[in-house]
Every structure is written in C-alpha cells, then in structure tokens.
C-alpha cells in the first residue's frame, strides 16, 4: 500500500469514527431523554395518587363562594352551596371509561357570579352515536334546578383532551356536544363574563342524584406509574446496549485501528 493510500485510508477511518461516535451520543441522549421523561410521568401520577388517597376519606368541607373553592385542595370532597344551570348542559365527546367509548355529561353551577363546571359522570355512547330518549331526558333533567342547592362533589382537574383537539361545538338530538373544551371557548359560547369561569371542576359524588357513571380514578389503572417505569427501563436498556456496542467498537479499534 502506498503512502497516499495509507493517508486516504486513515482519513476515511477518522471520518467513520467521528460519525459512529456522533450517532452513539445522539442515541444515548434520545433514549435517556425518553427514559427520564417516563420517570417524570411516573412520579407525577404517583403524586396524584397520593394526594387523592389523602383526601379520599376526609369529611366534606362546606363552601359557598369561589374563594372557598379555590382554597380547597384538589380531590377534596366539598359540600357546595350553589345553583345549577341546566340550560348550559353539554356533552364532552370521545371519552373512554372502562374500555367503553362515550361522553362526559357536564352541567355548570354558579357560585355568586362565578361559573363552575360539574362533571355528572360518564354515559356510554351506542354504536349509532344516537342516544335513547330516556338518556336524553336524564341528561336534561336536574333535580333542584334553578335554585340554590347543597351539592356534594369532589374537586377535580380540568378534563383531558379527547380524540378531537379543536374546541368544536355542535348540536345533535337537541343536545350540545363539544369535541374538546377550553375555558376561552366556553366563556365565548355561553356568554360568561371574563374571568368568571373557574378553571378547576367538580366531580359529582356517587351519592348525588343527577349523575351517571362516576367510579373514576385519578390515574388510569391500565397506564399507572408502574407502566411508565417499565417503559423507562426499556428506554434505558437501549441506552445500555449502545454503550456496550460502543465499548466493543473501541476494543476493535484498539486492536486494529486501520481496519476498524
């Protein structure tokens, strides 16, 4: 091999070494980032479960103002003195509960001048996406409507996005449906005064009338903290494989630098 060929081979080997190490570093960053993200999600859900359990068996706190509501802890059971607004009832579409597709039924209440969403529970949706007349009546029927009532409910989080990302609103079967909801869209649609819609909600207690399926958990059992930790281990395993492959490459390079 001539000197020119040797120099060209070395230059090619150096370029290959740089590319291999660059790809290895990118792979390590990518898989480790995914692993740490999964661990963060696991910790978030574990913290939610802890807070939920801490407030699960507490005596309901009586509240009658939005200030009291804001001061209450998430997942705390509350006895809310408020007024139902049944004319503003709506369905949140594309929800899944216990493996079934359906809707959440929401009816707002008012605490003074402030509006607060109450999730009355989950209602399975038939394959035809057409509710029976009996279901339609149940959705629209509120015991104690348009008068101040003592409502037992748990302070809950704003509902998660369904399959539809846009805050679309449509009418069907004389019912108001939303593909997704944002505070801004609801304020505009219902003519609520600016800043008067509270951005946390209530989940109606199972003992209350006016509700549907309410056996909710704060964390989905099918994708709890353990599932996230398992995925984290998977991503970290890929990172370990890259490290082992890189060590093997270094050993080979050390043994025969020109042909590695």
- The pLDDT tens digits for 112-127 are 889 999 999 999 988 8
Please report, for residues 43, 126, 127, 136, the alpha-carbon distance to residue 130 in angstroms, rounded to integers and kept in the order given.
40, 6, 8, 10
pTM: 0.70
The answer to whether 89 and 139 have CB atoms below 8 angstroms apart is: yes
With cut-offs at 50, 70 and 90, classify the pLDDT of residue 260: very low
Q: What is the mean pLDDT of residues 159-186?
A: 75
Please give the torsion angle defined by the CA atoms of residues 16, 22, 25 and 26, in that order, rounded to the nearest 10 degrees. Answer: -120
Q: What is the mean pLDDT of the chain?
A: 83
With cut-offs at 50, 70 and 90, classify the pLDDT of residue 8: very low
Looking at residue 4, what is its pLDDT? 47
With cut-offs at 50, 70 and 90, classify the pLDDT of residue 257: low
Q: b/e string for 131-154 if b means 16 or more Cβ within 10 A?
A: beeebeebbeebeebeeebebebb
Token duo for residue 133: 């007349």
With cut-offs at 50, 70 and 90, classify the pLDDT of residue 16: confident
């Amino acid at each position: 091999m001539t000197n020119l060929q040797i120099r060209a081979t070395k230059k090619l080997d150096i370029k290959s070494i740089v590319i291999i190490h660059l790809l290895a570093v990118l792979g390590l960053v990518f898989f480790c980032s995914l692993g740490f993200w999964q661990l963060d999600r696991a910790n978030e859900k574990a913290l939610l479960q802890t807070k939920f359990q801490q407030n699960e068996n507490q005596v309901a706190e009586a509240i009658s103002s939005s200030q009291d509501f804001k001061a209450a802890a998430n997942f705390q059971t509350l006895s809310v003195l408020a007024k139902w607004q049944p004319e503003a009832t709506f369905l949140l579409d594309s929800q899944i509960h216990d493996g079934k597709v359906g809707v959440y039924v929401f009816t707002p209440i008012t605490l003074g001048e402030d509006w607060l969403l109450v999730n009355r529970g989950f209602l399975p949706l038939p394959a035809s996406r057409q509710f029976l007349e009996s279901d339609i009546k149940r959705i629209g029927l509120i015991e104690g409507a348009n008068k101040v009532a003592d409502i037992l409910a748990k302070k809950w989080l704003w509902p998660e996005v369904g399959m539809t990302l846009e805050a679309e609103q449509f009418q069907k079967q004389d019912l108001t449906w939303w593909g997704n909801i944002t505070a801004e869209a609801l304020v505009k649609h219902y003519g609520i005064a600016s800043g008067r819609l509270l951005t946390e909600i209530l989940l109606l207690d199972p003992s209350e009338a006016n509700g549907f399926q309410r056996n909710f958990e704060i964390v989905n059992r099918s994708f709890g903290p353990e599932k996230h930790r398992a995925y984290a281990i998977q991503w970290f395993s890929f990172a370990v494989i890259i490290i082992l492959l890189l060590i093997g490459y270094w050993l080979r390079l050390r043994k025969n630098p020109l042909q590695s």
